Amino acid sequence: MISEKPTQEDFDNWHKDPNNWYLGFLYYNPKDKRLLPPKRLKAFGWTVNFANPYSVLILIAILALIPLALLLKN
User: Is the pLDDT score of 1 beyond 70?
Assistant: no
pLDDT in the model for residue 41: 87
User: Is the pLDDT score of 2 beyond 80?
Assistant: no
Residues of the chain with pLDDT > 70, as a percent, come to 95
- Kindly report, residue by residue over 34-63, the tens digit of the pLDDT: 999 999 888 899 999 999 999 989 999 999
Closest Cα to residue 33, out of 56, 51, 20?
Answer: 51
11 Cβ contact list (under 8 Å, min separation 6): 32, 34, 37
pLDDT in the model for residue 65: 93
User: Is the pLDDT score of 4 beyond 90?
Assistant: no
